[in-house]
A and B are shown apart, each in its own frame.
Chain A
Amino acid sequence: MAEEKKWYTGMFSTEDWWSFWIGLFFVLIGIVAAATGVDLSGWVIGFEKWVDISNVLQPDHAGMMSGISSLIVSYIIFTIATCIGAYFMGMDMKKYFWAWTIIFWLSAIVYVFSRHAYIQATSIERADFGIGWSLSIGGAHYIVALFVGLLIGNLAPKSFREFMYHGARPEWFIKIAIVFLGCKLGMKVVDSAGHALTLLLVGACATVAAYLLFWPLVYTLCRKGFKLTREWAATLASGISICGVSASIATGGAIRARPIVPVMVSSLIVVFAVVELVILPPVLTYTPWFNEPMAAASSLGLTVKTDGADAASGAITDQLMRTRAQEELGVQWEEGWITSAAVMTKIWIDMFIGVWALVLAMLWLYYVERRPDEKVQKMEVWWRFPKFVLGYFIAWIAVGVLGMTVIGGEAMDWGIHPFESTGRHLFFILTFTSIGLVTNFRKLKEENMGRLALAYGLGLLFIIIPLGWIIAYIFHNGMMPPTVG
């Protein structure tokens, strides 16, 4: 007999909940540091732009320890934290530990070399580094990490690739980073409450509209255009319209699809998200979308279908657009707003997964499986609700409220910055390396995957991206990131 589900089921056994616990644990450390003045958080490793390699590693609180000590301490602390999560999630601990270790140090090496001033310094910074030229590719470390991951994930021996899957958990890493991002928005509230609340409101409106347009159009395309069965069409429509892997799994569960359905759809989603991740940020930056940076970023939330790739593409767009704005307009936009816009719409979309899974579950019970006497539990909404989103909002509210009241903005920034900025960037690059490692382009070669891939590609190109751009523009036009100072 199946175990009865309680409201707390999965609290210590799912990736979603462990993003919540780990993310909020570090946020709490940051808040305690801010409140007490005891430096509990300054050890987090940061990677600075450099021409002299001895300057690249810096702890978030300069002078607290040497750069290399900071890197080792960060490795130890984050390893312990994620190993605890991995243990409770029932992973193979030995394999997780070694795969995680390889991913961490590989990402650190990529981060170090990609931060060279010749690669990342803006034209304004060149004089500071004493160099005459630079490529000015903000966020190059993410792109390099992705390609290194892709190389290993597609070209390394099969046994090694499969071993690395034990530690390559892009969705988990990015969800922890998103909880950290909640702190950033909390600090934004301290600095500029109106702007953050506007972003929240318009993100919600855009998501509701997009959600209800994407799904029926893609479902119809799959059913009528590609003659797919209902379970394939519904799962694919949820995957491409809503929130990628999570939505396809939630939909698969809601309609009781065979396990192969969400698994195959998820692999398509991951492959396409990587392609979008590489293409969309430069497209948005070097087209007229540059004049609407917040709308452009919001469109990423509507069109890039995994949390990891969305936040990652938001981070790249943030860097590319800020670099271009600084060089061409002489304006320095605050870091993080463009990423936040990309993540905000995605977070709203994530939250609706539960509602949509409930709707589909009821439709399938009452119409497809013809069991009108069986009731769908309302708790299904809670079970499907992405718990890291709770962590994001708790972090946001706690940092915002405490920063504006008892602790104060300056102290809060000191305590929380190591996680909301430096730690978040570290988890971003871990995500990029992991996305590359788990992306297997061979999947597209499999028999008949071409038909699904074509449905996905056409849906993305002719429904999701154009509609997503229109909706993002309608709800974000004219919004600009605040400027520094």
Chain B
Amino acid sequence: MSQEQQDFTEEVSHEAEPWEEWESKLVKYSLIIGVAALVVFGALVNLFVLP
């Protein structure tokens, strides 16, 4: 295995940090806003814009 490949293997194999509360919040709020945007914009676009 080349040095470059060894370095890369070590990079990817680093042990993952524990999942933290801020990550839960980031995921949760992104999904909530995303679903809300989908519903609200989807309804508005289908009611007023699309043929």
Contacts and interface: CB of A to CB of B under 8 A. Distances in A.
Contact of B12 (A212, A452, A471): A452
Contact of A474 (B9, B46, B51): B46
A367 B22 contact: yes
A467 B15 CA distance: 30
Contact of B1 (A367, A447, A480): A447
Contacts of B12: 228, 232, 448-449, 451-452
A479 B50 contact: yes
Interface in A196-215: 198, 201-202, 205, 208-213, 215
B34 A447 contact: no
The bracket for how many chain B residues form the interface is 35 or more
A471 B38 CA distance: 8
B8 A264 contact: yes
A217 B32 CA distance: 12
Contact of B11 (A224, A261, A477): A261
Contact of A212 (B8, B9, B16, B37): B37
A406 interface: no
A229 interface: yes
Q: Specify the main secondary structure of chain B where it touches its partner.
A: helix
A83 to B, nearest CB: 32
Contacts of A215: 30
Interface in A354-370: 363, 367
B47 interface: no
Contacts of B38: 209, 213, 471, 474
9 contacts: A205-B44, A211-B34, A233-B16, A260-B8, A363-B26, A367-B22, A447-B5, A447-B9, A475-B50
Interface of B: 1, 5-9, 11-17, 19-20, 22-23, 26-28, 30-31, 33-35, 37-38, 41-42, 44-46, 49-51
Nearest 9 CB-CB pairs, A to B?
A: A212-B34, A205-B41, A216-B27, A213-B34, A209-B38, A216-B30, A209-B37, A448-B12, A367-B22
